Chains A and B, each alone.
Chain A
Amino acid sequence: MIELINVKKSFENKIIFKNLNFTIKAGEIYILQGSSGVGKTTMLNMIYGYEKNYTGEIKKISDKLKIEYLFQDDLIFNNISVLENMKLKMIADTRDNPDEEKIEKILKQFGILDLKDSLTTKLSGGEKQRLKLSQMLLSDSDIILMDEPISNLDKENANIITKLIEEIYSEKTLFIVTHDDLNFNKKVHQLYMKDGQIYEK
């Protein structure tokens, strides 16, 4: 689905990747771990297209491959409601008037339908994360990149979010970067990054 071929990347004289080769296959779940600063988020940025300053090749199966990227930061609008946040994302995805029925269905899946009229500033960390995950479902993406989906969450919320990710995104290709342990029942590729290379545990 996505192939990284001989990717080299350096930043301020520090080599981050030297000949990185890796393939993301359709329908698989990848969990990448590694120390801070090894280049996990940089790799996601490169795959998504935010980071273009590298050599080598990142080959996608099709130009129309739809990728969603769950940022580590809260990329949601404050001072407007959960529903409005969903609508803003849906308009960007569909270029059409938002389908409220579909939005409510997704919010229900993530258990935050009753919060749809609440301002995002009133949401807890776990609820915000559910909203961000809900937005990922609005488009029919082929692959979802996630950067630290359960960081800054307490253990209970982390378990709930992990469970939701596994249940709801079971049909999707997932590439997750995290410091935390994500306990999926499904078979996943447990990876770690070191010295600019990716290894399977």
Chain B
Amino acid sequence: MKNNEKYVSRVIIKKTKSYLKISYIIFLLILISFSSILISSLAQIFETKKNYYDNLNTHIIEVSSKQGESNQTNNLTYKDIEQIKNISKTNGDYSVFGEYTINFGIPYDNDSNSIFVYSFEKEFSDMIGLDFSDNNILYTNNTNIIDKPITLKIPIIQTDNDGFNSNNYKEFSLHGKKNNVKNLSFIKNIISNNSSVIVSKDKYQEIVNIMFNTTKEDFENSINNYDDLGISPIKRLFVYSHDINNVDYLANEIDKIKYNTTYAFSYYDNIADSLSISQIAIFATLFLALIIMAFNLIFSSELYYKSIQKDLGILKHYGYTQKSVFSIYASNLKNIMLIIYSITVLFNIIFTFFIARLDILKIILVVSLIEGLFILIVSIIIRYLLNKKCQKSTLRLLKYSKDFE
């Protein structure tokens, strides 16, 4: 735009009608209200997401045992892992992990102190924050072991007619490390117990192999066949649903095949559905407010451009081209929209810092982008209406304005 056209724009803007000025102010106020609602909603959603959606506790179904045919409780076996993995191939993505243990203490020093060994699959360990890239690590809260080498005395178990006995042991070296596991209520009992330690799945298998002088396959077969080895290695199963909305469904499916389950949402009445409904309600209200706001400004602009057709005609009569007349008024519209957008973004920044605790930049960016896009669409529609007026012939503009007045 040329300098002299900018001058014309500056002069023309003084003639902006008061109702249009009021419409712009209302537009700004509604945008700010929209910002505050959207920012509050997003802050709440991110908070909820952290508390519920991103929280491992809410994604996990704990399976503690299986009911037998005459309602007795059976220990879990490796077969159960496969059975649960196969219950639902269509409804969402989920994983099944075992909590493996040796249900008697293993001595580790000359004072006959012993520890209870636990283990999980690598994926589950990663999920709860246990890093086993160094396979020799043993996680514990026992300060006597932390950051120290530790030698377990693995009993070598023999079976005879009198039952199980062990006269021999094998030393097994590991290195203690502070437990930095995430706050997962299901394994709180392991974390809080000083005599419990967590080792990698590989090390666990090595210990079992030494203890029973067996191989992984033979050991798993024995457990699956309920051979009495004196231990029940799979204490619990954890079913992790990637989609929080599928937790209820999955738990029901697992219950159906006679497993005993516990999960966080079972204490609430359909909390996942309630969260979705409240979000839909908020966004529906916002969408309605947006549409009303857009119509208000577009209608006011149309009314304004209708009322200034004489001015458009005068400019054309003076000798300004259609393109010049359009850019004179469009540049004013652009400047006003830029001012409105700048004020809104400034408000977004201040309000977000004031109200949100998480993902502050993300919220500012999302809200500002949505509003920017919205302002752009409204501006394009208003520019289209202006252009339609500018396209009219000079005589028609002057005659129409006479009729309008």
Contacts and interface: CB of A to CB of B under 8 A. Distances in A.
Contacts of B317: 69, 71, 75
Interface in A80-97: 80, 84, 87-89, 91-93, 95-97
Interface stretch (B7-15, B82-90, B340-348): B7-15
A55 interface: no
Interface in B1-51: 2-5, 7-8, 11-12, 14-15
B78 interface: no
A80 B315 contact: no
Contact of A84 (B2, B11, B319, B320): B11
Nearest to B313: A75
Contact of B7 (A73, A89, A91): A91
Contacts of A100: none
A76 interface: yes
B7 A87 contact: yes
Interface in A55-76: 69, 71, 73, 75-76
Nearest to B15: A79
Interface residues on B, range: 20 to 34
Interface string B311-349: 101110111100000000000000000000000000000
B4 A98 contact: yes
Given A50-B395, A51-B395, A97-B4, A77 B319 contact: no
B4 A89 contact: no
Nearest to B399: A73
Interface string A26-57: 00000000000000000001000011000000
Nearest to B10: A84
A78 interface: yes
B394 A88 contact: no
Contacts of B319: 89, 92-93, 139
- Chain A interface SS verdict (over half): loop
Contact of B315 (A45, A78, A87, A88): A88
A87 B9 CA distance: 12
Contact of A92 (B313, B320, B393, B398): B320
B388 interface: no
B15 A97 contact: no
Contact of B4 (A69, A75, A79, A95): A95
B258 interface: no
Nearest to B398: A73
Contacts of A80: 11, 14-15
Interface string B377-405: 00000000000000001110010001000
A88 B15 contact: no
A79 B11 CA distance: 10
Interface string A118-137: 00000000000000000100
A124 to B, nearest CB: 20
Nearest to A52: B393
Interface string B211-254: 00000000000000000000000000000000000000000000
Contact of A73 (B2, B3, B394, B402): B402
Q: Which of B5, B8, B317 has the most CB of A within 10 A?
A: B317
Contacts of B311: 77
A97 B320 CA distance: 14
Contacts of A84: 11
A98 B4 CA distance: 8
Given A75-B313, A89-B319, 8 more contacts: A51-B395, A71-B398, A75-B314, A75-B317, A79-B15, A80-B14, A91-B4, A93-B318
Interface of A: 45, 50-51, 69, 71, 73, 75-80, 84, 87-89, 91-93, 95-98, 135, 139
